[in-house]
Structure 1
Amino acid sequence: MTSILSTVIRMSLIMAFAIFGNLFLIFVIYKGNKISRSKISPVQLLILHTCFADLLFALLSLGSEIGILLTFPHFYASDLVCRLVRYLQVLPLYASPFLMVAISIDRYQAICRPLVHYTSDRFRRPNYFGLTAWLFASICSVPQLFIWQKMSIGKIGNNTTTSIVEWNFAENDRKEQCRSIYGI
């Protein structure tokens, strides 16, 4: 129990710092643009997408994992909720690197092709890059819907079933392979 408690405390601290840091960055971007009376730049827009992904990580990934750890070995939600929680836990983990790639592509175009960058709709392009990054993250997160499930592990007390969130391939030889490819 003490190892679970120390894990929950560490995750809570990381969650608090992530929420504070990303909200502060969002505040700085909006306040800085309001003071200078300028439009949000394409890079700032992609950074806001990244802040949103990091906030989702803090709230959905860490928050739900803390909830799962605090109620372990019970999982009170349905199998569908179990699968959706695991899907939403990895979605921001995939979105952040894809958004970094989108920022890199935008910067490449701005530096290596400046005339094309400024003659095209430079404020709409980051939205397309961000949407593409979120779409790829959503697609890459889909296996989580199939490899996790709610399982009953036995009875405790008066016929209450203890349920946990477990890999769907628990008895399969491919368990470790699936963990290394798709798991957290």
Structure 2
Amino acid sequence: MTTFVLATHNAHKVEELRRILGERLGPHELVGYDGPEPVEDGDTFEANALIKARAANAHTGLPAIADDSGIAVVALGGAPGIHSARYAGTRDDVDNYTRLLAELDGVADRAAEFVCAAALVDGDTELAVRGVWPGEVLTAPSGAHGFGYDPVFRPEGLEVSSAELTPDEKNAVSHRARAFGALVERLRELYG
């Protein structure tokens, strides 16, 4: 059995990743990370996920799993993208999606996608994979589940926001589920 460190200080992500990875990963252990937060200065989701995983691996000596995720809106040229968590200048979810809604006021094309890059770093072994969840930005928040931009994102093919999905429903189809599903396949190859 291998112990992996989840390279995030975000309690919501730790909970979500444990749900997503738990059954898929099998008898491996997932532990939280309490080390220093690195500067995320990459220019892609993959680069930032690898930065976080490298820092956690260096700090703990354990294989580190990290992600970087956000929402990319077509009408905004892919913004907020890698800047999603600090889009409003704060780390507050409501501030971030309120700014997004204001910028899209009156915009007809509200196409967007949630993007997640999942990464593993274990010494010299580094890999990153991407998951995408297409949909659109709503005109107002709806739903009480999830976090981040979930209340203003309606996944393609659904009539509800991602914040109206139960955690299990979301974790079966989200961008994180897609990215970490692909990562688990690679982890099985490396760790059994």
TM-score normalised per structure 1: 0.32
- Highest relative contact order (Cα 8 Å, sep 6+), 1 or 2? 1
Structure with more strand by fraction: 2
* Higher CA-based Rg: 1
